[in-house]
Amino acid sequence: MSDKLPETIQELETPCMLVDIDRVKRNCQQMIDRCKEMGMELRPHMKTHKTIEGGVLMTNGTKRKIVVSTIDEAVFYADNGFEDILWGSPIVKERISGRLINLANKLEEFHVMVDSLQGLNGLLATPLNEGKQWSVFLEVDCGNGRTGCLWDSEEAIQIGKTADAAPNVKFQGLYTHCGNTYTPDTEAKVKVQQDTTERLVALKKRLAENGVECRVVGCGSTPSSSKPIEGMKTLTEMHPGNYIFYDYMQVLLNSCTFDDVACKVATTVVSHKPETNTIVVDCGWTAFGLDAPNEKFPQAVLGKAPVEGHPELILGRMTQELGKLTTASGKIDCSQYPLGSRLYFYPWHSCCTASLHKVYYVHSGDKIVGTWKPTNGW
């Protein structure tokens, strides 16, 4: 392939990552409209795509109010004119680097997250330029059990009070990532949404009783924000990220349908192995990732990924550069998948798959309309 971009997706070298711009635009607009209807602010997470173009679409062109997962992303977006950036990962003293201090000094609004008094103390001991304060969110664990200070703990109140009283800190409020909404059981998901909302409101109230105001109270994963519950309107902000692309996992979580999945991996059939009932494609875990359905997803009958237009195929074992496909039942008819022909996989987890590609080929229908280049690193 020369440097010139081919006209259609069929002409691209494989494996490669395709992004359907029409679906991306629709996914972004739906989340913008949903937040507006709910009377909530949207602070989209950039971690899934890590591109400027995706960030512009998710922020409705404002380039304001985003979450990032790494300092690399924060610098990338700040250097490209984005503002009001929250680094959504717990601060500890050892993470307060020159890059972080530069961002806090340079941006109008740059926010960090703490989930421990020790982490907050690191910020208290680090002065910024004259007139600048650390803008701090308290990360709350409302039952997800990953990071975050427990919603009903005494430490949460201590962090709020200490941050609020510190001259070099501006306390913003609460942030929770409700990763426990990643369940295909709709009733269980709604219960998590209810608990998360109630727990955030309860903590906000306890902080208020201690003289600490929360201007912002945010929650939201893609499953939660794609199908929000009424009660979430009592919060101020949502911060989902994966919805820009969605993926097979989100289909099984009932966040979206297959028609919403906006990215896929293009592959080429490179070998026929009728004696083992397989065909082999040029996409292994370096282009697809190792994330795959676990026991939480008994419906994942299609293996690691559905193959577009071929419900009879199951993507099984992958090696570094190759993927093996077999049939759900009966003998594989290799003539249906000629050597050199194309197959397209919908990722199980688009954040994982996208992170492996240096370029995404953006298309409308079969026509290539451009490329997006993600940032990477930490």
Ligand X SMILES: Cc1ncc(COP(=O)(O)O)c(C=O)c1O
DSSP strands (E only) in 240-341: 263-273, 278-281, 313-318, 323-327
Structure tokens at 43: 């602070």
- Which one of 70-78, 238-246, 280-288, 302-310 is the stretch in contact with ligand X (CB under 6 A)? 238-246
Q: Binder to ligand X among 228, 240, 284, 289 (CB under 6 A)?
A: 240
Decide if residue 189 touches ligand X (CB under 6 A): no
Which of 48, 60 has the CB closer to ligand X?
Answer: 48
Site for ligand X in 83-112 (CB under 6 A): 88
- Which one of 235-243, 266-274, 300-308, 336-344 is the stretch in contact with ligand X (CB under 6 A)? 235-243
Which of 55, 241 has the CB closer to ligand X?
Answer: 241
Decide if residue 177 touches ligand X (CB under 6 A): yes
Q: What are phi and psi of 99, to 5 degrees?
A: -65, -40
Structure tokens at 110: 């740059």
Which of 43, 363 has the CB closer to ligand X?
Answer: 43
Which amino acid appears at position 358 of this protein?
A: K
Q: Binder to ligand X among 23, 34, 45, 204 (CB under 6 A)?
A: 45
Dist. CA 338–CA 342, nearest whole Å: 9
Is residue 268 a contact partner of residue 281, using CB atoms and an 8 Å limit? yes
Decide if residue 34 touches ligand X (CB under 6 A): no
Which x/- pattern over 301-340 shows residues binding ligand X (rule: CB under 6 A)? ----------------------------------------
- Which one of 14-22, 166-174, 234-242, 341-349 is the stretch in contact with ligand X (CB under 6 A)? 234-242
Which of 242, 326 has the CB closer to ligand X?
Answer: 242
Contacts of 30 (CB under 8 A, 6+ apart): none
Dist. CA 157–CA 207, nearest whole Å: 6
Which of 70, 242 has the CB closer to ligand X?
Answer: 242
Site for ligand X in 199-228 (CB under 6 A): 221-222
Dihedral (Cα; 70, 374, 248, 26), 10-degree rounding: 110
Structure tokens at 18: 């395709």
Decide if residue 27 touches ligand X (CB under 6 A): no
Which amino acid appears at position 194 of this protein?
A: Q
Q: What are phi and psi of 64, to 5 degrees?
A: -125, 150
**Cβ of residue 88: shortest distance to ligand X, in angstroms?**
4
Structure tokens at 342: 């194309």
Site for ligand X in 58-87 (CB under 6 A): 67
Q: Each residue of 212-223: b (16+ CB within 10 Å) or e? A: bebebbbbbbbb
Decide if residue 119 touches ligand X (CB under 6 A): no
- The residues of the shown chain that bind ligand X, judged by CB under 6 A, are 45, 67, 88, 177, 221-222, 239-242
